[in-house]
Structure 1
């Protein structure tokens, strides 16, 4: 069952029971993303790690590593036949 079908079924049930309709799918996605981010920052502070810039630093390390490994492979001489 898709998300849309489940939403329509829940809306129908709410109408039959004279209850308020549930929120549409995706209406609270950004709030959930913010809460997950804030929880990650909280856990970092509790573990005594830096709370800001961890994702960007990891991304920079990943990109630099990919550049270095690709560059080293391009400079490796090929064996003679």
Structure 2
């Protein structure tokens, strides 16, 4: 079954049991992504690493270490 069919089935069951409708699929995706980002920042701080800008720093190190072509 697809995720939409599961949602319709869950909505039907909630209606039969008198419970509130479940949230639509994907309704809380951005909230989950923000919480995951916050958790990763928290873990970085606990480990003594910078919490912000780690990707940019890594790319900067990688670009500085690349040999430049002499064309």
Structure 2 gaps, min length 5: none
Match of 2:50 in 1: 50
Bigger Rg, which one: 1
Mapping of residues 1-81 of structure 1, within 5 Å: 1-61=1-61, 64=63, 68=66
Aligned residues between the structures: 69
Q: Which runs of 4+ in 1 moved over 2 A?
A: 55-62
Calculate the TM-score normalised by the size of structure 1.
0.71
CA, structure 1 residues 51+18, in 2 after alignment: closer, same or farther (shift >3 Å)? same
Structure 1 gaps, min length 5: 76-81
Calculate the TM-score normalised by the size of structure 2.
0.80
